[in-house]
Amino acid sequence: MSTIKLNKPSAGDEQPKRSKPVRRGPATLRDRTQPPPKAAPKRAEAEAPVAKQKKHTEKPARQERSGRDNKAGDKPYARKESYKESRHRSEYPDKRSEQRTDNRERRPFTAPSRPVHTPDPDAQPRLSKVMADRGLCSRREADDWIVNGWVKVNGEIVETLGTRIDPDAEIIISAYAKEHQAETVTILLHKPVGYVSGQAEDGYEPAVVLCNPDNQWSDDASGISFKRGHLRGLAPAGRLDIDSTGLLVLTQDGRVARKLIGDDSNVEKEYLVRVEGQLSANGLALLNHGLSLDGVQLRPAKVSWQNEDQLRFVLREGRKRQIRRMCELVGLHVVGLKRIRIGSINLGKLPPGQWRYLGAHERF
C-alpha cells in the first residue's frame, strides 16, 4: 500500500483561500426515500400566457413615423431621423404628420337632415281652374260637371266644388259631359246701337233679347234648329259699347269664351271707326304702338286710314272703350264704330238686329 505525502506550505508562502461554507438544503431534499418536489415555473414562463392573451386583445401602439413617409418595403420600425430632417421638421411642422394625442373616438360625419317639403293644400289651384287652363271647358261648365259627378281626378270622382288639386293631376271627363258640351251653341249677332252687351243697365236692354226665332237670319246655313235651351247660360264673349254696332258673340261653350276673352287670348278683332278732328303729327304712329291707358301700355295694333274720315283698327285686346280713348289721345273724336271681324269669322251680310248660329265647320 503506497502513501502520498502532502507537502506543507512553507512559512513564506501565501495562505490558501478559505472556501465558502456549504449550505445544507432542506431535509426534504436530503431525504432519498421521497420523490423530489416539482420545480416552480419561472416568472417569465408564468407571465407568458397572459402576455400572449394581451397580444390578441390590445391594439398595438401606433408607431411613430418620421417626417417622410416610409416607402413600400421599408421596415415597420421607425427610422432614426437625421439632424437635417429634425431641424426642418422643427422649422416647418407638418400638421398632417402630427400624432393624435387624445383618445376620443372619431364619430362618423352625418349631414344635417333637410326638412321634407310638403305642398300646402291651400296653395294648389282649384279643380275648375285647372280644367279651364287645359282648355277642357269654362269654369262655369267645370262647376256643373263636378256637381254632376262627371269629373275624375287620379281615378277618383270629385263632387265637391272648390276642391284643390295638383296642377299635374290626371283629369278624366265623363262621356256625359262631352255629350252635354256638344249640345252647346254659339250665336253670332249683329248688335245695333242702343243695346248693351251684357246685363241690362240704365234702362237699356241686353243684346241677348234679340236672340229669338223671329230674328234668326233666313240665310243661316248652320242647320241648327232653335231651342229654348239654347238661351240657357248664353253669355257674351267680348263686349261692344252701347253706341257701337257690329259682330257680337254669345256662347254657351266655355272653350269659345276662353279663346276670345281669356287672359292669354291672341285673337284679332277688326273695326271700322269714323272719326272727326285733327290728327296729331305722330298720331298714327302712336295709335299703332306707344299709347298707354290707366298706366298700362297697350299691345301693338294695326291702324291705317280706310278713307278720308274712317280708320281701320285691328286689335288683339279689348279694354273698356279702348278705341274711343285711344283716338282722344291723338286729337280725334269717334262718331261711329263697327266691328266687322273676330278671328276668322266675318260679319258679312248679316243684317243689324239679326243673328245666326256658328256652324260646326267654323272656327275663330
The DSSP H or E segment spanning 255 is helix 254-261
Q: Tell me which residue range forms the domain holding 285.
A: 268-342
The answer to whether residue 148 sits within a structural domain is yes
* Same-domain status, 190 and 286: no
- The pLDDT of residue 19: 56
Tell me, what CATH number does 170's domain have? 3.10.290.10
pLDDT at 291: 94
- Domain termination residue (choose one: 131, 148, 182): 182
Given a cut of 90, whether residue 177 has pLDDT beyond it is: no
The pLDDT assigned to 182 comes to 72
* Residue type at 176 in one-letter notation: Y
Q: 286: domain CATH number?
A: 3.30.70.1560
What kind and span of H or E run contains 129?
helix 127-133
Which pLDDT band, with edges at 50, 70 and 90, does 79 fall under? low
Q: Which helix (H) or strand (E) holds 327?
A: helix 322-329
Mean pLDDT of 78-101: 60
More confident residue, 116 or 360: 360
Catalytic residues: 241
More confident residue, 181 or 190: 190
Q: Tens of pLDDT along 26-37? A: 666 566 666 666
Do 197 and 209 fall into the same domain? yes
**64 lies in some domain:** no
Condensed to tens digits (0 to 9), the pLDDT of residues 328-360 reads: 999 999 999 999 999 999 999 999 999 999 998
Q: 331: which 3 cell numbers?
A: 286729337
Tell me the pLDDT tens digit for each residue of 213-239.
999 999 999 988 888 888 888 899 998
Number of domains in the chain: 3
Q: How far apart, in whole angstroms, are the C-alpha atoms of residue 46 and residue 64?
A: 31
In a shared domain, residues 189 and 236: yes
| Measured distance CA(304)–CA(95) in Å, rounded | 82
> Do residue 218 and residue 356 come from a single domain?
yes
pLDDT of 68: 52
